[in-house]
Amino acid sequence: MKKTFVLEDLCCAHCATKMEEGIKKIDGITDASVNFIMQKLTVEAADEEFDAIMKKVVKICKKIEPDCTIVL
C-alpha cells in the first residue's frame, strides 16, 4: 500500500531529509519520501502492517521535528 500524507509545520529541508532516512530504516517500509517544498510524506509498506508502521513513522517524525504533524 502506498499513501501520501500532508505534513504541517515542517520547518526545514534538513529535518525532512533526516525524517526520510529514519522512516526508511523501519522494518516493513518498502519506500518513503518526504517532500519539503510540497510538505508531503509518501509511505509505501505492506497492507497488513500499515497501521503499525505508521505509528512508528509518527514517532520518528516527532523525535526529529516535534512541531511537525502528519495529517493522517
**The domain spanning residue 60 has which CATH number?**
3.30.70.100
- Our count of domains for the chain comes to 1
Cα–Cα distance, 50 to 18 (Å, whole number): 21
Range of the domain at 17: 2-71
pLDDT in tens, 38-72: 999 999 999 999 999 999 999 999 999 999 999 98
* Average pLDDT for the chain: 97
Predicted TM-score of the model (pTM): 0.94
pLDDT for 49: 95
The conformational region for residue 7 under phi > 0 = left, psi -120 to 50 = alpha, else beta, is beta
